[in-house]
Amino acid sequence: MSYHIAVIPGDGIGPEVIRETVRVLDCVSQKFGFTLNYTQYLAGGCAIDATGKPLPDETLEGALASDAVLLGAVGGEKWDTLPSDMRPEKALLGLRAGLGLFANLRPAVLFEQLAAACPLKPELTAGGLDILVVRELTGGIYFGKKERGENYAYDTMSYTEDEVRRIAHVAMKAAMGRSRKVTSVDKANILESSRLWRQVVTEVAEEYPEVTLSHMYVDNAAMQLVRNPKQFDVIVTENMFGDILSDEAAMITGSIGMLPSASLGEGTRGMYEPVHGSAPDIAGQGIANPLATILSAAMMLRYSLGQEDAAKAVEAAVDAALFGGARTKDIALEGEAVLSTAEMGDCVLAALEGLA
């Protein structure tokens, strides 16, 4: 098997974390007998400098012709004063829209070895945490009709059945590969769009009899995430609720340097990137944590390339590296030895080589 990956390192620490991730991908693909062909493309600030555009046509075309897109991060102070349609972040929106990505998957995993970074009481997270937030990305109040008048303003939360149906399928399919439990989060006691959401998610769930579906109001979900987070497996929700809940779930795990994400569309092609940004404050120092990007690549192996065993091997290697005491500065406790970005890459590679 051979796959084409569009690699977009971007700005700041993007190229540093992508470098380690590609090394890990090379190793795991060799181990599991498939080939990854990479083509590098520009996006973000570096693309503005080189071409005058945050998302050059060649990059979008390359992404469209690939099996998956692996992205580092974009942005930095240098480009902060540009008009909004010329900013580096425009590249992300352009890629999402151009690739038709409507589902954002953000796992919040608390690695037992990093439990000290979790702000919750240890008994609430004993044995680790593994929640997947599936957020609708292209509908809802962020994209609905809005208006600002002289003394009023409104935004509209609207969804079509098809928009809800397709994200519900993504959540159900993801749950099938996990603990087969989906919590759909809405505000159906108040919002008409939530009543439609609940009805359609319930209909879709009938096609997945092995998945247990429950519904929860968003205010309760926000509370339950810090009260009893272990009750959740997959959470599926609309755009704004997902924006807020995925950040809340992420905080439970402690470090931004550990959080991967995937954005998916209708087919198998997706875009994979760490949740963190380009971290200009530490760029060029070789100290960034590459694990969020390496874990994003594991999601790529799982969701776009169908290489579940390879995905699990990468995740197990990250786990083993952490278990062996590997820490970059952001996840090290006082007194613990601190590794560089490349040394953390070495540890994951060594763990990968060591796996049966």
Distance of CA 188 to the CA centre of its chain: 27
Residues 45-74 that bind ligand NAD (CB under 6 A): 73-74
| Rg, C-alpha atoms of the chain | 20
Active site residue 49: no
Find, among 281, 289, 239, the residue nearest to 263 by Cα. Answer: 239
The active-site residue, picked from 26, 130, 155, 247, is 247
Q: Which is nearer to ligand NAD, 29 or 257 (CB)?
A: 257
Find, among 187, 76, 93, the residue nearest to 140 by Cα. Answer: 187
Residue 77, classed as helix, strand or coil, is helix
* Residue 115 sits in the site that holds ligand NAD (CB under 6 A): no
The backbone torsions φ and ψ at residue 329, rounded to the nearest 5 degrees and listed phi first, read -55, -40
Q: Which is nearer to ligand NAD, 280 or 306 (CB)?
A: 280
* Residue 280 sits in the site that holds ligand NAD (CB under 6 A): yes
Of 48-56, 120-128, 216-224, 274-282: span binding ligand NAD (CB under 6 A) = 274-282
Of 29-37, 58-66, 269-277, 298-306: span binding ligand NAD (CB under 6 A) = 269-277
Looking at this protein, which amino acid is placed at residue 85? Answer: D
Looking at this protein, which amino acid is placed at residue 268? Answer: T
The active-site residue, picked from 11, 233, 243, 330, is 243
* Residue 257 sits in the site that holds ligand NAD (CB under 6 A): yes
Residue 300, classed as helix, strand or coil, is helix
Active site residue 309: no
* Residue 171 sits in the site that holds ligand NAD (CB under 6 A): no
Structural contact between residues 132 and 234, judged by C-beta atoms closer than 8 angstroms? yes
230 DSSP 8-state letter: G
The contact set with ligand NAD (CB under 6 A) reads: 13, 17, 73-76, 89, 92, 256-257, 273, 276-282, 288-289, 292, 330
Show which residues are catalytic. 142, 187, 219, 243, 247
